[in-house]
Structure 1
Amino acid sequence: MDTATPARPWRTALPAGMASFLDSSALVSAGIVVGTLYPDAMSLSDGQIGVILGVQTLSFALGALVGGRLGDRFGRRRVFTWSLAAYALGALLLAVAAGPALLVVGAAVIGSAIGADLPVSLAMINEEAPEGRKATLVVFSSVLWNVGIAVTMLLSALLSGFGATGGRVLFGYLVVVALVVLGVRLTVRESAEWRRARDAADAGESVRFRDLPQLLRPPLVLGLLATALYYAMWNVGANTMGQFGSFLYVNVGGGEVATYSLVSTIGLGVGLVAGVVFMRYVDTAARRPLFAAGSAVIVLAWVFPLVVGFSEFSLLATLLLSGLGSAFAGETLYKVWSQELFPTLLRTTAQGCTIAFGRIVAALAGFATPAAASASAGGTFAGVAVLALIAAGIGLLWIPRLPGARQLTSVDENAT
């Protein structure tokens, strides 16, 4: 039985959820600083910038794989403590780097830390939350993700005029926030749910789902495939807007970066409000219709320019609609499903695998996006729309039919 008091889940959810805040802040900061503020001072070539940011993305995937597994084996608290310490170190290296070599090292360290932190932090939030509020608090972490982006964009706007020095200050800010959050995390206890499951397994008691190979066999492999495919297909569109939105707006729509940045900021505000609204309903029967509506809006976002033509207006509509729809679907629901579908001792392992898969697919798609959009914007948008439609089908028709962790555990207990 869950004995958590009503106050305690929030005391866990905030420091654990700050993983999302810090992770999005690091990703956005790296793109802005390495891509625009460091190149002149460090004589970085386009190729070197690509390598640095590429290393961060691949390290994110590797960190999720390793950190997810370690979280199931050795505990949520231990991993999310050391991963945050590594995050602070990586941000510090990026702040003091004088050339590309240390930037690559810093990107690898902070990327690995982000990847390792995310699955264990989400599991900690879910496992310490009371029944009826678990999904609410997981969605709270997605709200913090958007807050991290908004704060970073605001700070970058204030610091961009200082060139490389502004970039160092931005990374220094991440170091300070990470150390503050680390101090708070040290006061958080280990997940009671994980502790009970780990103690039972170590004592030789019958725990049906505990070994890695079980993720590759039914029934768990079905959940692994469903969440991996959903996240990867949705993430292609999200990554396209996040990484290449300004490129598309300027080169396909004929707009200006300043306008796109302004509307992006407005879009973040809309997404934040929508995310807070979703928190009120995600643990209720309204989740499914809201997910369906959000998925439809995401598909509409990519279809709209195909119908009305490519212009500044239609591409800004894509930006705003995709952000609004993703508040009720996309990564927000993926995080919730990843907690609900997998038993305790394989939960972070499964999510680490699907995070890594989704990130790698998005990165591979990203390599081709600029050339594909320049050659055929219509074909690119149609392809993303099809992926979004398939993802919606997975979320509406496949995932709801899968047995949840509670059902699997119940079956196991009845069998014994």
Structure 2
Amino acid sequence: MTGSPTRTARPWKTAFLAGMASYLDAAVLISTGTALVLYRPTIGIDDLQFGLLSSLLTLCFAVGALFGGRLGDRFGRRTVYSVTLVGLIVAMGVMALASSVPMLFVGVVLAGLAIGADLPVSLALIAEDSPEGQKGRFVAFSAILWLVGISASNGLSAVVGGMGELGGRIMFAHVGVVAIVVLLLRMTLPESPEWLAARARRAAQEDGERIDLDSLRRLFRPPFIYALAATGLFYAAWTIASNTMGQFSALLFTELGGTTIQLFGLIKLVNIPLGLLSGFAFMRIVDTRWRYRWFVVGAVIQIAAFATPLLFDGALWSLMVMTYAFSVGAAFAGEALFKVWSQELYPTLLRSTAQGASIAFARIAAAGAAVFIPTLATQNPSSLFVLLTACIVASSLIGFLWVRVLPTAPSDAVAGTEDDRRTPAETVG
């Protein structure tokens, strides 16, 4: 096969349905963090169990991303993202019906593995089905859906937060119903043409087993190992802060701010216009020379977000500033940009594997931190905000000084030459 692979005529349909992996990722994270607070009085979840459940969800997400990404490069995007949604539907059923802590542990394991495996594969499909010169825009759209997932879950918590345990069950049921609808609609998507073309070219050169082994080895050799290290470290530092905002916001607002879950949900609803406006703004600049100028702006806003409750002892208003400022800054210097980088820096048959490895590393780091965050939040909140501020400073420096100057990869080869590689700044400029 020669020439560029034929993409579908409806890239926005692919971007929406595949991008719903980001919606479900956010919805699982927020729903679990909020529902565990609602489950605590009746099921009896203590601080350590809260931390372990949150950590296990993140850890299993990491394992799912690592293996799901690799399977997506080997067997195709469509097969993997279909199986993972079935697993997520089962997980949400278990958690919605849970009557004990052990049942919650089972559900958390299934949910983490399923959504973790879905995300890198779905993101790769979006990039491979996007028009040339607009890949960043389409991939960034998944970050909009991530924000919508956060907003929908927080909005639902404002409605059901006063129902106690029943409210938690409704939140898990919401994720399960959305997953069912997405699964049915994804059945109408074809396999990635770019993946099929790249796979066919490699198959014409070598036998299948050698293709997979050789392509995997390439990921751990220059230049791809540098991209893997840079994006992994960037995303790990950023995810520790982001994961805290997702899983433990309800805990922070109720324990430090003295709010109810319902009021917390209402406060978070303000994030909907802020997050969407910022996300759409990022979509407009991501494929242009303005990308890294706005990265600096976003980084400064995020640092200020976590420094505010540190300086003002976690007062309710400072937690609100943290929440709103992080929502704006993250759009330009957070997960959305990591997703775009992960499409640009790797060729087709390494793309899903590389993303899965970076996501896995980041979520493992976040899982380790999550074990201790509930205790820090209730007993030493200043140390928690120092940690979060330091993580954002680290991710900002890695992104601007390292990832920004890495060369991009050709989209339809397993490895390119140095002559056909450009830095992301050159690509968007």
**TM-score, normalized by the shorter chain, greater than 0.5:** yes
Where does 1:17-416 land on structure 2 (aligned, <5 Å)?
17-36=19-38, 38-204=39-205, 210-249=214-253, 255-257=258-260, 260-305=264-309, 311-372=315-376, 377-406=381-410, 409-411=415-417
Partner Cα distance (2:291, 2:185) in 1: 32
- Contact 1:69 / 1:348 at 8 angstroms: preserved in 2? yes
Partner Cα distance (1:327, 1:201) in 2: 37
- How many residues of Structure 1 are paired with residues of Structure 2 in the alignment? 411
Q: Does 1:13 align with 2:15?
A: yes
In the TM superposition, what is the alpha-carbon distance from 1:336 to its structure 2 partner? Answer: 0.7
Aligned to 2:426: none
- Contact 1:2 / 1:131 at 8 angstroms: preserved in 2? no
Instruction: State the identity %.
Output: 43
In the TM superposition, what is the alpha-carbon distance from 1:349 to its structure 2 partner? Answer: 1.1
- Contact 1:227 / 1:334 at 8 angstroms: preserved in 2? yes
The structure, 1 or 2, with the larger RCO (C-alpha pairs under 8 Å, 6+ apart) is 2
Off by >6 Å, runs of 4+ in structure 1? 206-209
- Contact 2:95 / 2:169 at 8 angstroms: preserved in 1? yes
Q: Which moved more, 1:224-233 or 1:276-285?
A: 276-285
Question: What is the CA deviation profile of residues 42-97 of structure 1, one whole-angstrom value per residue up to 9, with x for unaligned ones?
Answer: 45555544444333222111111110110111111110111111111111222233
In the TM superposition, what is the alpha-carbon distance from 1:34 to its structure 2 partner? Answer: 3.2
Question: Aligned with 1:97: secondary structure?
Answer: coil
Q: 1:251 to 1:159 in 2, by over 3 A?
A: closer
Question: What is the CA deviation profile of residues 285-335 of structure 1, one whole-angstrom value per residue up to 9, with x for unaligned ones?
Answer: 111111111111112223345566754333322222111100111111011
Q: 1:264 to 1:128 in 2, by over 3 A?
A: same
Superposition TM-score, scaled by structure 1 size:
0.89
Q: 1:26 to 1:307 in 2, by over 3 A?
A: closer
Q: 1:44 to 1:177 in 2, by over 3 A?
A: same
Matching residue's letter, 1:21 = Y
In the TM superposition, what is the alpha-carbon distance from 1:163 to its structure 2 partner? Answer: 3.7
Matching residue's letter, 1:338 = S
Give ranges in structure 2 of 5+ residues lacking alignment.
421-429
In the TM superposition, what is the alpha-carbon distance from 1:255 to its structure 2 partner? Answer: 4.9
Partner Cα distance (2:393, 2:327) in 1: 16
In the TM superposition, what is the alpha-carbon distance from 1:12 to its structure 2 partner? Answer: 0.9
Partner Cα distance (2:56, 2:152) in 1: 24
CA RMSD of aligned residues (A): 2.8
Partner Cα distance (1:310, 1:107) in 2: 29
- Contact 2:69 / 2:120 at 8 angstroms: preserved in 1? yes
Partner Cα distance (2:303, 2:51) in 1: 30
Matching residue's letter, 1:411 = T
Question: Aligned with 2:332: secondary structure?
Answer: coil
Give ranges in structure 1 of 5+ residues lacking alignment.
none
